[in-house]
Amino acid sequence: MFQTRIHGRGGQGVVTAAEMLSIAAFLENRHAQAFPNFGSERTGAPVVAFCRMDDKEIRLREPVMAPDAVLIQDPTLLQQVDVFQGLRQDGFMLINSARSFEALGIGDIARNMNPLRCVCVPATELALRFLGRPMPNAVLLGAFARLSGRLAVDSVAAAVRTKFSGVVAEKNITAARAAFDEVDRQLTQQAGVTHS
Amino acid sequence: MSHQPVKFYQTGTFTVGNRLLDESIRSVQATKTRSNSLNSGHRACQGCGEALGARYALDAAMDVSQRQLIAANATGCLEVFSTPYPETSWQLPWIHSLFGNAAAVATGIAAALRAKGRSDVRVIAQGGDGGTTDIGFGCLSGMFERNDDVLYLCYDNEAYMNTGVQRSSATPPAVRTATTMPLGAEPGNPFGQGKFVPTIAMAHRIPYVATATVADLFDLEYKVKKAIQIRGAKYLHIFVPCPLGWGAASSDTIKLADMAKECGLFPVFEAEHGKVTGVSKIRKLIPVEDYLKLQRRYAHLFGKAPATDVISKIQARADENIRTYGLLDTDVR
Amino acid sequence: MTLKQIEGSQGVAEAVALCRPEVICAYPISPQTHIVEGLGEMVKAGQLRAEFLNVESEFAAMSVAIGSSAAGARTYTATASQGLLFMAEAVFNASGLGLPIVMTIANRAIGAPINIWNDHSDSMSLRDCGWIQLFAETNQEAIDLHIQAFKLAEELSVPVMVCMDGFILTHAYERVDVPSQEQVDAFLPSFEPRQVLDPARPVSIGAMVGPEAYTEVRVLAHAKQIQALTLIPEIAAEFKAHFGRDSGGLIQPYCCDGAHTVVIALGSVLGTIKDVVDELRAQGCALGVLGITSFRPFPLMEIRQALLGCQRVLVLEKSFAVGVGGIVATNVRMALDGTGQKVLTVVAGLGGRAITKSSLAATLVAAMNDQLEPFSFMDLQHEVVDRALGRERQIRRSGPVAESVLRDIGVVASKIS
């Protein structure tokens, strides 16, 4: 079972991101379960959502406390919420930011993890560029597909199309693919660093 | 052969509904084909205004709907006196659910009929003033604002009679009830409280709102017939004296209903889409005192030292109604 | 059938729509709102021919349902928590009148303190209202139970609540198999009411009954529930024949054969319990699980039968009877009357507190080692309770209890669970 936790703020589509992730897994004939960390949260409040993926039926209903991957849609949460709670050292970390881990003040944490599994992606900037709106959720899923290697980016695209329609869906998908490429570029570069 | 005395009814008065009139202008009550929706044998008190009102209203509704009528009833006297199982006075499909939900139950019936394409069947809800203006008010307002296809009939006898004459929001000021005793500095029900639901109904801009009394059978039947033919929410507020709760003679029910209208305390009018469209004028204005005196619920205002100040405050309410609704036809006088 | 990855609420909305309801009453309350929103959308889009009413309260929702069901229309509504309590008088009335309304309960805690999260306090508070109460373990089962519920309700002329855990199921996206319209039509006949408000054959419904017959009328309501004990498994079997799936029934035993300790629970927590039990069984623990699908009627004989041979029963409950203890456990004790089997109650998941595998495993191990109190609360912060009690002993004007408790616990916004 692969468990992902998504952190963001109300209005950023955190819950939708987890749902799309589960749909992408479903489209690859896997079992998936997405659910929000339920609350009556208003716009701007910290929001958490979860997604489990497995090859067999998922019966477990507890919140994801030891995630395999953490997606941070809003880096301002880093100082506010214990977003890395339970994250394994060999887990995945994806942060929506144009800055480095050091600049974000989490250099210590990142250094303790596998560098090929930790990435910052400027998802909001990509969303603004392709969508014209600062909605990082679908964009980050493209990045997540490349980082985790658990999903095909085409599945993410198909999942996006179930939640958005027409031009909005296509723009989101374009942005998601750009994020996929960005992660690919960073990982290739990182692999070079690691091997040299 | 015994002699059957034939009572003489003067034609042309508003109380006549009898068979001496030309057939075309007889009331539904005067016809042999009336449905007797609330059939005889029920357990209402002698002189019960609510029983009369319900009988007049439902027979008229049955007549105009060609007996395609369903009724939802709130808890109250009307429900209790008409139906202890296995007996029932109701000659139409009838349901009693709760005290405060008659309007919503009727909404549900109307929705079911719409779902089944039965536009021929009409729906009424009915209850007393407690079930309408107090506990059932939320459901009533909901039914109004959705403009559900229901005619709501409120039989207003100005207190909770079924439970032993307690004050409702339709109880007028100064009235003695079991919960507003004639004691202390302000005996009876206080001034400055209560509500008049017909005007609140009008504020919902529903197609039809009217008031009526059991003293004017033709007017009551006319309003029921008119309302039942309108699609959407309708409200008819019927003034029904209660001999028991008011401490009045059972033979005075019609008289008291007439006097309430003639003194101006109960305005009789109709309104469409929130605007008053017709008013029953006062034929012979009487002072409120004449009306109050006949009822023991006002007895504390009279006696050795009459509470003239309180009586004049009640008169002021009547006068205000007369002004507001234009109840006096000054041209004719 | 179509496999879909959708929200539980959407799945239920689709299942209800497949049952061709004629009248739907909607009033918003979390966490059931998405269900009626989904139905409203289908009606607006013309995919579902039904009367959809936005009413002014839950009391009105159930009252409208009473009217429409009495007028012969298949009727549906959904609610939760405060909403269920707000309509309580009408809920009792619907069953008293014998109206086969189907209602989803998206289980949620009851205030005060106001709490929107899941537990079973709402359904349990109305367990004796005369409705049948079915609890779904998964969203698939929630879908299936709704389809079965209409059949059950209409066959017996008794209303049915389908209870599903709020948020945990209603807001969870998971794979569900949504039947086709043809399949549902073949399974569920059109509604033939036992009583109906019909101008062609007038009847009086809901009149007064005195001491001379009230007992008999109530016993007949009980008799309907007893009939349901036979009918629920029959309908589940028929459902399987039509849809090829095991869903519903009275109880669902899991690894009970040879188990020394059996955990009893209702609803979605059964999944987590099964995962824990599998892990403990792999370590040699003789554990089993018994899911109760039908809480009303309560299948006394079936439960007694399923628990034959086990030494100890641990009832995990998402609500409790304040001042006494377990609710489900009390019923289970009735089922085990005279057997001498030990019944332990552990209350968990109140107001949405996460029921974790680790806490469950610790509780089960403690139970197996006879180290569990007969009545206990999982993950209870005892020190917080003690401090609040201490404060009340010391200070007369100790203030709102809930506020002091939260001050003691401190900031929670940063916690995941």
Model confidence pLDDT, tens digit, residues B204-219: 999 999 999 999 989 9
**B66 in contact with C, Cβ within 8 Å:** no
Size of interface B-C (CB pairs under 8 A): 158
Question: DSSP letters of C324-370?
Answer: TB-SHHHHHHHHTTTT--EEEEEE--GGG----HHHHHHHHHHHHTT
What pLDDT score was predicted for residue B5? 53
Q: What is the mean pLDDT of residues C214-218?
A: 96
Block residue for tokens 């309770």: C385
Q: Do C175 and A37 touch (CB under 8 A)?
A: no
What pLDDT score was predicted for residue C176? 98
Structural domain count of chain A: 1
C353-369 per-position pLDDT tens digit: 999 999 999 999 999 99
By CB neighbour count within 10 A (0-12 exposed, 13-18 middle, 19+ buried), where does B329 fall? Answer: exposed
**B288 in contact with C, Cβ within 8 Å:** no
Phi, psi of C312, rounded to the nearest 5 degrees: -145, 140
pLDDT per residue, tens digit, chain A (196 aa), is 999 999 999 999 999 999 999 999 999 999 999 999 876 667 888 999 999 999 999 999 999 999 999 999 999 999 888 999 999 999 999 999 999 999 999 999 999 999 999 999 999 999 999 999 999 999 999 999 999 999 999 999 999 999 999 999 999 999 999 999 999 999 999 888 766 5
Residue type, B306: P
Q: Is C115 helix (H, G, I), strand (E, B) or coil?
A: coil
**C206 in contact with B, Cβ within 8 Å:** yes
Query: Angle, nearest 10°, between helix axes C88-97 and C58-70?
Result: 10
Q: Is C203 helix (H, G, I), strand (E, B) or coil?
A: coil
Confidence of residue B12 (pLDDT cuts 50, 70, 90): very low
Residue A171's domain comprises 2-195
Domain with CATH 3.40.50.920 in chain C: 251-377
User: What is the rounded distance in angstroms from the CA atom of residue C58 to the CA atom of residue C71?
Assistant: 20
**B94 in contact with C, Cβ within 8 Å:** yes
Q: Give the residue from B85, B88, B149, B152 with the most C CB atoms within 10 Å of its CB, the best one to mutate.
A: B85
Q: Examine residue B20 and state whether it is found in any structural domain, yes or no.
A: no
Phi, psi of C261, rounded to the nearest 5 degrees: -125, 130
Q: What is the assigned CATH class of domain C2-243? A: alpha beta
Contacts of C413 in chain A (CB under 8 A): 46, 80-81
A86-123 per-position pLDDT tens digit: 999 999 999 999 999 999 999 999 999 999 999 999 99
Kindly calculate the radius of gyration of chain A based on its CA atoms and give it in whole angstroms.
Answer: 15
Taking 90 as the threshold, does the pLDDT of residue C409 lie above it? no
Q: Which of A6-15, A139-148, B28-37, C2-11 has the lowest mean pLDDT?
A: B28-37
Q: Do A65 and C174 touch (CB under 8 A)?
A: no
User: What is the rounded distance in angstroms from the CA atom of residue B297 to the CA atom of residue B314?
Assistant: 14
**C64 in contact with B, Cβ within 8 Å:** yes
What pLDDT score was predicted for residue A191? 86
By CB neighbour count within 10 A (0-12 exposed, 13-18 middle, 19+ buried), where does C408 fall? Answer: middle
What pLDDT score was predicted for residue B4? 54
- The residues, any chain, with a CB within 8 Å of residue B275's CB and separated by 6 or more, are B202
Confidence of residue C316 (pLDDT cuts 50, 70, 90): very high
User: What is the rounded distance in angstroms from the CA atom of residue C74 to the CA atom of residue C193?
Assistant: 9
By CB neighbour count within 10 A (0-12 exposed, 13-18 middle, 19+ buried), where does A185 fall? Answer: exposed
Q: Do C55 and B69 touch (CB under 8 A)?
A: no
Q: Give the residue from C173, C378, C415 with the most A CB atoms within 10 Å of its CB, the best one to mutate.
A: C173
What pLDDT score was predicted for residue B20? 67
SS (H, E, C) C228-271: HHHHHHHHHHHHHHHHCCCCCCCEEEECCCCCCEEEEECCCHHH
Q: Is B12 helix (H, G, I), strand (E, B) or coil?
A: coil
Q: What is the CATH number of the domain that holds B173?
A: 3.40.50.970
Contacts of A48 in chain C (CB under 8 A): 416
Phi, psi of A51, rounded to the nearest 5 degrees: -145, 130
Question: Where would I find the H helices in C114-268?
Answer: 121-125, 139-156, 181-187, 214-243
What integer best gives the mean pLDDT of chain C? 96
* Cα–Cα distances in angstroms (integers) from residue A82 to residues B118, C36, C359, in the given order: 61, 35, 21
C22-50 per-position pLDDT tens digit: 999 999 999 999 999 999 999 999 999 99
CA distance C63 to chain B (A): 5
By CB neighbour count within 10 A (0-12 exposed, 13-18 middle, 19+ buried), where does B167 fall? Answer: buried
What pLDDT score was predicted for residue B9? 46
Q: Is 0.90 exceeded by the ipTM? A: yes
Using a CB–CB cut-off of 8 Å, the residues of C that contact A are 3, 5, 7, 30-31, 116-118, 167-168, 171-175, 268-272, 274-275, 352, 354-357, 413-417
User: What is the rounded distance in angstroms from the CA atom of residue C178 to the CA atom of residue C346?
Assistant: 35
C382-403 per-position pLDDT tens digit: 999 999 999 999 999 988 988 8
CA proximity to C374, closest of C342, C338, C400, C352: C342
Query: Angle, nearest 10°, between helix axes A137-148 and A123-130?
Result: 120
Q: Degrees (nearest 5) of the Cα angle C309, C314, C319?
A: 145
Q: What is the CATH number of the domain that holds A71?
A: 3.40.920.10
Taking 80 as the threshold, does the pLDDT of residue B18 lie above it? no
What pLDDT score was predicted for residue A42? 79
Q: Do C354 and A59 touch (CB under 8 A)?
A: no
**B142 in contact with C, Cβ within 8 Å:** yes
Q: What is the assigned CATH class of domain C251-377? A: alpha beta
C173-212 per-position pLDDT tens digit: 999 999 999 999 999 999 999 999 999 999 999 999 999 9
Q: Examine residue B11 and state whether it is found in any structural domain, yes or no.
A: no
Residue type, C90: A
Taking 70 as the threshold, does the pLDDT of residue B16 lie above it? no
Q: Examine residue B2 and state whether it is found in any structural domain, yes or no.
A: no
Q: Search chain B and give the residue with CA nearest C50.
A: B115
Residue type, C69: S
Cis preceding linkage at C113, omega within 30 = yes
Q: Search chain C and give the residue with CA nearest B113.
A: C71
Residue B105's domain comprises 25-325
Q: Examine residue B93 and state whether it is found in any structural domain, yes or no.
A: yes
**B105 in contact with C, Cβ within 8 Å:** yes
User: What is the rounded distance in angstroms from the CA atom of residue B96 to the CA atom of residue A109?
Assistant: 68
CA dihedral of C53, C57, C63, C69, whole degrees rounded to 10: 30
* Cα–Cα distances in angstroms (integers) from residue C8 to residues A41, A53, C15, C140, C174, in the given order: 20, 17, 10, 8, 7
User: What is the rounded distance in angstroms from the CA atom of residue C145 to the CA atom of residue C39?
Assistant: 17
Edge-to-edge order in the sheet of strand C312-317: C251-254, C287-292, C261-265, C312-317, C342-347, C375-377
Structural domain count of chain B: 1
**B95 in contact with C, Cβ within 8 Å:** yes
